[in-house]
Protein backbone atom coordinates (compact mmCIF):
# COMPACT_ATOMS: atom_id res chain seq x y z
CA UNK A 1 0.00 0.00 0.00
CA UNK A 2 1.35 3.44 -0.90
CA UNK A 3 1.47 6.26 1.61
CA UNK A 4 -1.27 7.98 -0.40
CA UNK A 5 -3.57 4.95 -0.12
CA UNK A 6 -2.80 4.71 3.58
CA UNK A 7 -3.61 8.38 4.11
CA UNK A 8 -6.84 8.15 2.10
CA UNK A 9 -8.09 5.44 4.46
CA UNK A 10 -8.60 8.05 7.21
CA UNK A 11 -8.56 11.46 5.49
CA UNK A 12 -10.23 12.99 2.45
CA UNK A 13 -7.43 13.83 0.01
CA UNK A 14 -7.81 17.12 -1.85
CA UNK A 15 -5.58 18.19 -4.74
CA UNK A 16 -4.21 21.72 -4.55
CA UNK A 17 -3.84 22.72 -8.19
CA UNK A 18 -5.50 24.34 -11.19
CA UNK A 19 -3.53 22.16 -13.62
CA UNK A 20 -6.33 20.20 -15.29
CA UNK A 21 -4.00 17.60 -16.77
CA UNK A 22 -2.88 16.47 -13.31
CA UNK A 23 -6.25 15.92 -11.68
CA UNK A 24 -6.77 12.32 -12.75
CA UNK A 25 -3.35 11.23 -11.49
CA UNK A 26 -4.49 10.68 -7.89
CA UNK A 27 -7.67 9.46 -6.23
CA UNK A 28 -8.58 12.89 -4.87
CA UNK A 29 -12.17 13.85 -4.14
CA UNK A 30 -12.00 17.66 -4.11
CA UNK A 31 -9.72 20.37 -5.49
CA UNK A 32 -8.68 23.79 -4.26
CA UNK A 33 -7.51 26.77 -6.27
CA UNK A 34 -6.11 30.15 -5.30
CA UNK A 35 -4.91 33.28 -7.13
CA UNK A 36 -1.36 31.94 -7.40
CA UNK A 37 -2.49 28.69 -9.01
CA UNK A 38 -4.90 30.44 -11.37
CA UNK A 39 -2.18 32.92 -12.41
CA UNK A 40 0.12 30.03 -13.29
CA UNK A 41 -2.57 28.09 -15.16
CA UNK A 42 -3.83 31.13 -17.08
CA UNK A 43 -0.31 31.74 -18.39
CA UNK A 44 0.04 28.14 -19.59
CA UNK A 45 -0.28 27.75 -23.36
CA UNK A 46 -2.21 24.49 -22.85
CA UNK A 47 -5.13 26.50 -21.51
CA UNK A 48 -5.06 29.42 -23.94
CA UNK A 49 -8.30 28.24 -25.53
CA UNK A 50 -10.05 27.97 -22.19
CA UNK A 51 -8.91 31.45 -21.20
CA UNK A 52 -9.95 32.97 -24.52
CA UNK A 53 -13.37 31.33 -24.35
CA UNK A 54 -13.95 32.43 -20.76
CA UNK A 55 -13.20 36.11 -21.32
CA UNK A 56 -14.84 36.44 -24.74
CA UNK A 57 -17.56 39.08 -24.88
CA UNK A 58 -16.51 41.04 -21.80
CA UNK A 59 -14.32 44.12 -21.53
CA UNK A 60 -14.50 44.44 -17.74
CA UNK A 61 -11.40 42.84 -16.20
CA UNK A 62 -13.13 41.91 -12.94
CA UNK A 63 -15.90 40.21 -14.87
CA UNK A 64 -13.26 38.43 -16.93
CA UNK A 65 -11.54 37.28 -13.74
CA UNK A 66 -14.73 35.73 -12.37
CA UNK A 67 -15.47 34.09 -15.73
CA UNK A 68 -11.97 32.60 -15.76
CA UNK A 69 -12.20 31.31 -12.19
CA UNK A 70 -15.49 29.58 -12.89
CA UNK A 71 -14.27 28.21 -16.24
CA UNK A 72 -11.41 26.44 -14.46
CA UNK A 73 -13.75 25.36 -11.68
CA UNK A 74 -16.20 23.78 -14.10
CA UNK A 75 -13.40 21.91 -15.85
CA UNK A 76 -12.08 20.66 -12.51
CA UNK A 77 -15.52 19.38 -11.49
CA UNK A 78 -15.75 17.38 -14.70
CA UNK A 79 -12.63 15.51 -13.59
CA UNK A 80 -13.28 15.03 -9.87
CA UNK A 81 -16.32 13.71 -8.00
CA UNK A 82 -16.42 16.24 -5.18
CA UNK A 83 -16.10 19.98 -4.70
CA UNK A 84 -13.96 22.81 -5.97
CA UNK A 85 -12.89 25.83 -3.93
CA UNK A 86 -12.91 29.10 -5.89
CA UNK A 87 -11.47 32.23 -4.32
CA UNK A 88 -13.07 35.65 -4.20
CA UNK A 89 -10.83 38.52 -5.36
CA UNK A 90 -8.27 38.76 -2.54
CA UNK A 91 -8.23 42.55 -2.80
CA UNK A 92 -11.69 42.47 -1.16
CA UNK A 93 -10.44 40.65 1.94
CA UNK A 94 -11.31 43.61 4.19
CA UNK A 95 -14.51 44.55 2.34
CA UNK A 96 -17.57 42.61 3.53
CA UNK A 97 -20.03 44.03 1.00
CA UNK A 98 -17.59 43.68 -1.89
CA UNK A 99 -16.92 40.06 -0.91
CA UNK A 100 -20.65 39.33 -0.77
CA UNK A 101 -21.24 40.76 -4.25
CA UNK A 102 -18.41 38.82 -5.86
CA UNK A 103 -19.19 35.58 -4.00
CA UNK A 104 -22.80 35.71 -5.15
CA UNK A 105 -21.68 36.49 -8.69
CA UNK A 106 -19.31 33.50 -8.71
CA UNK A 107 -22.03 31.16 -7.47
CA UNK A 108 -24.49 32.53 -10.02
CA UNK A 109 -22.01 31.69 -12.78
CA UNK A 110 -21.63 28.14 -11.48
CA UNK A 111 -25.38 27.66 -11.29
CA UNK A 112 -25.77 29.03 -14.83
CA UNK A 113 -23.21 26.43 -15.93
CA UNK A 114 -25.34 23.68 -14.40
CA UNK A 115 -23.15 23.09 -11.33
CA UNK A 116 -25.03 22.31 -8.09
CA UNK A 117 -24.29 24.71 -5.25
CA UNK A 118 -23.09 21.95 -2.97
CA UNK A 119 -20.18 21.22 -5.32
CA UNK A 120 -18.69 24.69 -4.85
CA UNK A 121 -16.92 26.26 -1.89
CA UNK A 122 -16.32 29.99 -2.09
CA UNK A 123 -12.89 30.77 -0.67
CA UNK A 124 -12.60 33.90 1.45
CA UNK A 125 -9.71 35.16 3.56
CA UNK A 126 -10.36 34.68 7.29
CA UNK A 127 -10.27 38.38 8.13
CA UNK A 128 -13.04 39.70 10.38
CA UNK A 129 -14.75 41.19 7.33
CA UNK A 130 -14.40 37.92 5.44
CA UNK A 131 -15.87 35.89 8.30
CA UNK A 132 -18.87 38.24 8.56
CA UNK A 133 -19.42 37.86 4.81
CA UNK A 134 -19.16 34.06 5.10
CA UNK A 135 -21.80 33.99 7.83
CA UNK A 136 -24.24 35.79 5.52
CA UNK A 137 -23.37 33.57 2.56
CA UNK A 138 -23.83 30.37 4.57
CA UNK A 139 -27.29 31.60 5.57
CA UNK A 140 -28.06 31.90 1.85
CA UNK A 141 -26.90 28.37 1.12
CA UNK A 142 -23.55 29.43 -0.37
CA UNK A 143 -20.93 27.35 1.40
CA UNK A 144 -17.52 28.82 2.17
CA UNK A 145 -13.91 27.79 2.64
CA UNK A 146 -12.15 30.28 4.92
CA UNK A 147 -8.53 30.48 3.88
CA UNK A 148 -5.38 32.20 5.13
CA UNK A 149 -6.22 30.86 8.57
CA UNK A 150 -3.37 30.86 11.06
CA UNK A 151 -4.84 31.38 14.53
CA UNK A 152 -7.15 29.82 17.07
CA UNK A 153 -9.08 33.10 17.22
CA UNK A 154 -9.82 32.89 13.49
CA UNK A 155 -10.98 29.29 13.86
CA UNK A 156 -13.32 30.14 16.73
CA UNK A 157 -14.94 32.98 14.80
CA UNK A 158 -15.36 30.75 11.72
CA UNK A 159 -17.01 28.03 13.81
CA UNK A 160 -19.43 30.49 15.41
CA UNK A 161 -20.22 31.94 11.96
CA UNK A 162 -21.30 28.50 10.72
CA UNK A 163 -18.62 28.30 8.03
CA UNK A 164 -18.63 25.00 6.12
CA UNK A 165 -14.83 24.54 5.97
CA UNK A 166 -11.60 26.18 7.12
CA UNK A 167 -8.08 25.84 5.71
CA UNK A 168 -5.40 26.37 8.37
CA UNK A 169 -2.01 26.89 6.69
CA UNK A 170 0.36 24.37 8.26
CA UNK A 171 3.51 25.18 6.32
CA UNK A 172 3.25 28.95 6.52
CA UNK A 173 2.83 28.77 10.30
CA UNK A 174 5.96 26.68 10.60
CA UNK A 175 7.80 28.95 8.16
CA UNK A 176 7.20 31.89 10.51
CA UNK A 177 8.56 30.09 13.57
CA UNK A 178 11.56 28.81 11.61
CA UNK A 179 12.34 32.33 10.43
CA UNK A 180 12.06 33.72 13.95
CA UNK A 181 14.41 31.08 15.33
CA UNK A 182 16.98 31.56 12.60
CA UNK A 183 20.14 29.53 13.12
CA UNK A 184 18.74 28.20 16.41
CA UNK A 185 15.95 26.28 14.63
CA UNK A 186 16.17 22.56 15.37
CA UNK A 187 14.44 20.78 12.48
CA UNK A 188 14.52 17.38 14.19
CA UNK A 189 13.01 18.77 17.37
CA UNK A 190 10.13 20.37 15.45
CA UNK A 191 9.27 17.41 13.26
CA UNK A 192 5.92 15.66 12.92
CA UNK A 193 3.68 16.11 15.95
CA UNK A 194 6.09 18.75 17.33
CA UNK A 195 5.78 20.91 14.21
CA UNK A 196 4.21 24.30 15.13
CA UNK A 197 1.88 24.22 12.12
CA UNK A 198 0.75 20.69 12.92
CA UNK A 199 0.14 21.62 16.54
CA UNK A 200 -1.99 24.61 15.50
CA UNK A 201 -4.23 22.42 13.33
CA UNK A 202 -4.52 19.69 15.98
CA UNK A 203 -5.64 22.26 18.55
CA UNK A 204 -8.33 23.59 16.21
CA UNK A 205 -9.48 20.11 15.16
CA UNK A 206 -9.75 18.92 18.77
CA UNK A 207 -11.64 22.04 19.81
CA UNK A 208 -14.14 21.55 17.02
CA UNK A 209 -14.72 17.88 17.83
CA UNK A 210 -15.01 18.49 21.57
CA UNK A 211 -17.62 21.21 21.07
CA UNK A 212 -19.55 19.50 18.30
CA UNK A 213 -18.61 22.08 15.67
CA UNK A 214 -19.63 20.75 12.22
CA UNK A 215 -17.16 22.97 10.35
CA UNK A 216 -14.71 20.82 8.38
CA UNK A 217 -10.99 21.25 9.04
CA UNK A 218 -8.75 20.99 5.97
CA UNK A 219 -5.03 21.26 6.59
CA UNK A 220 -3.25 23.18 3.82
CA UNK A 221 0.14 24.56 2.81
CA UNK A 222 2.33 21.53 3.45
CA UNK A 223 6.10 21.46 3.27
CA UNK A 224 6.88 17.75 3.72
CA UNK A 225 5.42 14.28 4.24
CA UNK A 226 6.02 14.38 7.99
CA UNK A 227 3.55 17.24 8.37
CA UNK A 228 0.98 15.27 6.37
CA UNK A 229 1.58 12.05 8.33
CA UNK A 230 1.13 13.87 11.64
CA UNK A 231 -2.33 15.07 10.53
CA UNK A 232 -3.62 11.75 9.19
CA UNK A 233 -7.23 11.52 10.32
CA UNK A 234 -7.91 15.23 9.90
CA UNK A 235 -11.19 15.83 8.03
CA UNK A 236 -9.42 16.81 4.82
CA UNK A 237 -5.90 17.65 3.67
CA UNK A 238 -5.24 19.67 0.51
CA UNK A 239 -1.90 18.66 -0.95
CA UNK A 240 0.13 20.04 -3.89
CA UNK A 241 1.07 17.79 -6.83
CA UNK A 242 4.72 17.39 -5.81
CA UNK A 243 3.78 15.95 -2.42
CA UNK A 244 0.94 13.86 -3.86
CA UNK A 245 3.48 12.27 -6.20
CA UNK A 246 5.82 11.69 -3.26
CA UNK A 247 3.00 10.04 -1.30
CA UNK A 248 2.05 7.85 -4.27
CA UNK A 249 5.61 6.53 -4.61
CA UNK A 250 6.32 6.14 -0.90
CA UNK A 251 5.53 3.15 1.29
CA UNK A 252 5.69 5.25 4.47
CA UNK A 253 2.93 4.25 6.88
CA UNK A 254 0.26 6.89 7.46
CA UNK A 255 -1.62 5.54 10.51
CA UNK A 256 -4.50 7.63 11.85
CA UNK A 257 -3.26 10.26 14.28
CA UNK A 258 -6.53 12.14 14.79
CA UNK A 259 -9.60 10.15 15.80
CA UNK A 260 -12.92 11.97 16.16
CA UNK A 261 -14.14 9.30 18.58
CA UNK A 262 -11.18 10.07 20.85
CA UNK A 263 -10.29 13.75 20.33
CA UNK A 264 -8.17 13.90 23.47
CA UNK A 265 -8.36 15.95 26.69
CA UNK A 266 -10.23 19.26 26.69
CA UNK A 267 -7.72 22.08 26.45
CA UNK A 268 -9.93 24.96 25.29
CA UNK A 269 -13.14 24.71 27.31
CA UNK A 270 -14.79 27.91 26.03
CA UNK A 271 -17.18 27.29 23.09
CA UNK A 272 -16.59 29.27 19.88
CA UNK A 273 -17.92 32.82 19.82
CA UNK A 274 -18.40 35.39 17.06
CA UNK A 275 -17.33 38.61 18.71
CA UNK A 276 -15.26 41.27 16.98
CA UNK A 277 -13.55 42.47 20.15
CA UNK A 278 -12.59 38.90 21.02
CA UNK A 279 -11.34 38.33 17.47
CA UNK A 280 -9.27 41.51 17.33
CA UNK A 281 -7.76 40.83 20.74
CA UNK A 282 -6.89 37.27 19.77
CA UNK A 283 -5.18 38.42 16.59
CA UNK A 284 -3.35 41.20 18.43
CA UNK A 285 -1.92 38.64 20.84
CA UNK A 286 -0.80 36.34 18.02
CA UNK A 287 1.93 38.14 16.07
CA UNK A 288 2.50 35.15 13.82
CA UNK A 289 -1.13 35.02 12.72
CA UNK A 290 -1.40 38.76 12.22
CA UNK A 291 1.75 38.95 10.13
CA UNK A 292 0.96 35.86 8.04
CA UNK A 293 -2.62 36.97 7.38
CA UNK A 294 -1.46 40.39 6.20
CA UNK A 295 1.26 38.81 4.09
CA UNK A 296 -1.13 36.27 2.58
CA UNK A 297 -3.67 38.90 1.59
CA UNK A 298 -0.89 41.00 0.07
CA UNK A 299 0.57 38.12 -1.94
CA UNK A 300 -2.78 36.80 -3.17
CA UNK A 301 -3.79 40.33 -4.12
CA UNK A 302 -0.58 40.71 -6.13
CA UNK A 303 -1.30 37.43 -7.92
CA UNK A 304 -4.83 38.64 -8.64
CA UNK A 305 -3.41 41.84 -10.13
CA UNK A 306 -1.11 39.74 -12.29
CA UNK A 307 -4.05 37.69 -13.58
CA UNK A 308 -5.99 40.88 -14.31
CA UNK A 309 -3.06 42.18 -16.35
CA UNK A 310 -3.02 38.93 -18.31
CA UNK A 311 -6.74 39.17 -18.96
CA UNK A 312 -6.57 42.83 -20.00
CA UNK A 313 -4.23 41.81 -22.78
CA UNK A 314 -6.24 38.74 -23.79
In order, the DSSP letters of 15-37 are EE---GGGGGGS--SEEE--HHH
Tell me the angle at which helices 61-77 and 35-42 cross, rounded to the nearest 10 degrees.
90
Rg over CA atoms, the chain: 19
Q: Report the pLDDT value the prediction gives residue 33, as an integer from 0 to 100.
A: 93
Q: Report the pLDDT value the prediction gives residue 263, as an integer from 0 to 100.
A: 86
Arithmetic mean of pLDDT over the chain: 95
Q: Report the pLDDT value the prediction gives residue 270, as an integer from 0 to 100.
A: 87
Residue 297 — pLDDT band, cuts 50, 70, 90?
very high
**Over residues 292-304, mean pLDDT:** 97
Q: Report the pLDDT value the prediction gives residue 40, as an integer from 0 to 100.
A: 92
Q: Report the pLDDT value the prediction gives residue 267, as an integer from 0 to 100.
A: 85
**Over residues 234-262, mean pLDDT:** 96
Residue spans per domain, the chain:
3-312
- Class level of CATH domain 3-312: alpha beta
As a whole number of angstroms, the distance between CA 217 and CA 260 comes to 12
209 catalytic, yes or no? no
152 or 311: whose pLDDT is higher? 152
Q: How many Cα atoms within 13 Å fall on the side-chain side of residue 25?
A: 21
CA 209, distance to chain mean position in Å, is 20
Q: Report the pLDDT value the prediction gives residue 137, as an integer from 0 to 100.
A: 98
Residue 24 — pLDDT band, cuts 50, 70, 90?
confident
Query: Tens digits of per-residue pLDDT, 154-166?
Result: 999 999 999 999 9
Q: Report the pLDDT value the prediction gives residue 90, as an integer from 0 to 100.
A: 96
Contact between 216 and 243 under an 8 Å Cβ cutoff? The reply is no
As a whole number of angstroms, the distance between CA 183 and CA 187 comes to 10
Rounded to two decimals, what is the model's pTM? 0.96
Query: Tens digits of per-residue pLDDT, 168-205?
Result: 999 999 999 999 999 999 999 999 999 999 999 999 99
Q: Report the pLDDT value the prediction gives residue 296, as an integer from 0 to 100.
A: 97
User: Which is the catalytic residue, given 123, 189, 209, 292?
Assistant: 123
Q: Report the pLDDT value the prediction gives residue 82, as an integer from 0 to 100.
A: 97
Of 141, 135, 90, nearest to 302 by C-alpha is: 90
Q: Residues in the chain, how many?
A: 314
Spatial neighbors of 180 by CB under 8 A, at least 6 apart, are: none
Amino acid sequence: MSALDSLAASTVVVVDTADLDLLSRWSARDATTNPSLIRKAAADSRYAGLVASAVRGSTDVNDRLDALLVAFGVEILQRLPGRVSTEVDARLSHDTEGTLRRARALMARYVAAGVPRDRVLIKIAATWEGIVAARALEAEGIHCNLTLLFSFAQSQACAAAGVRLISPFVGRITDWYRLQAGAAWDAAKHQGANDPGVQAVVRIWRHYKQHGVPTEVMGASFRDLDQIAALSGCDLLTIPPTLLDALATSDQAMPRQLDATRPGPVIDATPPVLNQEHFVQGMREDRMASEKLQEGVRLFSADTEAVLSQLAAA
